[in-house]
Amino acid sequence: GQQVMQIPQYQHVQEGEDFTTYCNSSTTLSNIQWYKQRPGGHPVFLIQLVKSGEVKKQKRLTFQFGEAKKNSSLHITATQTTDVGTYFCAGYKGSTLGRLYFGRGTQLTVWP
The residue within the footprint of another protein, chosen from 26, 53, 98, 111 (CB under 8 A), is: 98
- Alpha carbons 10 and 71: distance in angstroms, whole number: 19
CB of 98 to another protein, least distance (A): 6
Footprint (CB under 8 A) of another protein, residues 51-90: 88, 90
- Alpha carbons 98 and 73: distance in angstroms, whole number: 23
Beta-bridged to residue 36, according to DSSP, are: 44, 87
Residue type (1 letter), 22:
Y
Residue type (1 letter), 38:
R
Q: Given the complex with another protein, which of 33 and 71 has the nearer CB atom?
A: 33
Q: Given the complex with another protein, which of 42 and 59 has the nearer CB atom?
A: 42
Q: Given the complex with another protein, which of 45 and 111 has the nearer CB atom?
A: 45
- Alpha carbons 24 and 73: distance in angstroms, whole number: 9
Binding interface with another protein (CB under 8 A):
6, 30-31, 33, 35, 41-45, 48, 50, 88, 90, 92, 95-105, 107
